[in-house]
Amino acid sequence: MAKNDLRVLIKCFFRTYLLGSLYNNKGLQNLGLLYIMEPGLRLFYKDKRDKYLEARERYLSHYNSHPYLLPFLVGYFLFLESRIAQEIISPNSLNTIKETSAYTLSAIGDSFFGGSLLTGWALCEVLFLLYGQRLGAVLFFIGSFLLLQLFRFVIFWQGWTRGLLFFQYMKEINLIEWSNRIKMINAILIVWVWTKVSFLLNIYNHAIVFLIGGILIGVFSYLVHKHFISREILFSLALLSIMLFF
């Protein structure tokens, strides 16, 4: 790889941090994606203006995905564009992959990061502060932030170098299942936070109630997750209990 090529790839990676700056109601993240891809497209089609304009058009359609997984998609799209420029694959293949992979990773990102990992991270920060470990909270924040940046760069590079192979590897990891496991841990962390707050406020009776309630929430969550009981039946039982005892 030439030095200029590497510089272009790094430029595309850092532009992923500016995705939301061009958000719009019609295409959502499409203009941001085009801005990110622009240096790569100029490199691949520097002597083919018509092909360059056609490539730009491919990124003006509706697009929306999770920002934490965006670097992988950018690396993957750059990988595909380099092959299209060499006429190894058809542009239609990129359009198909773009439509399917973006929304798939959006759902995975929302579940794994937004619905699980970030919640657990916030609960850990709260616990650090409840125990008076301010330095620990700061170090945990900085470490988490740096780890996220490393994760973003690694998946960007894997998308560029491995393409579809890494996408299949991510499917094998099954991040949706991992998000369910993290949610179980989050339930324990919530009970921990409730209990600690109760002891700090000297309301020990409430702490016991929180502990028992948290355990029951964890048990019922597991039963719902494993389809031993439906959410509708669980809600009906809870509503009936409130009517009978309160």
Total length of the chain = 246
| pLDDT for the residue 138 | 93
| 180 vs 242, higher pLDDT | 180
Contact 189, 119 (CB under 8 A): no
Q: Is residue 101 part of a domain?
A: yes
- The three-point CA angle 132-135-139 to 5° equals 130
Considering only CA atoms, give the Rg of the chain: 23
In this structure, is residue 227 part of a structural domain?
no
* Residues in contact with 130: Cβ distance below 8 Å, sequence separation at least 6, in sequence order: 193, 196, 197, 200
236 within domain boundaries: no
Per the structure, the count of domains in the chain is: 1
Does a structural domain hold residue 69? yes
Let me know if residue 245 belongs to a domain: no
Alpha-carbon distance of 48 to 162, in angstroms, equals: 26
For residue 143, what are its two tokens? 């470490």
pLDDT at 243: 63
Domain of 52? 3-173
Residue 239 included in any domain? no
Class of residue 50 by CB neighbours under 10 A (exposed 0-12, middle 13-18, buried 19+) = exposed
Give the pair of three-digit tokens for residue 88.
Answer: 């190894």
In a domain, 148, yes or no: yes
Question: What is the per-residue pLDDT across 120-157, written as a single tens digit (0 to 9) for each?
Answer: 999 999 999 989 899 999 999 999 999 999 999 998 99
Angle between helices 30-44 and 70-85 (to 10 degrees): 40
Lowest mean pLDDT among 64-73, 162-171, 224-233: 224-233
Q: Is the pLDDT of residue 1 over 60?
A: no
What are the pLDDT digits (tens) for 6-54? 888 899 999 999 888 888 888 788 888 889 989 988 888 888 888 888 8
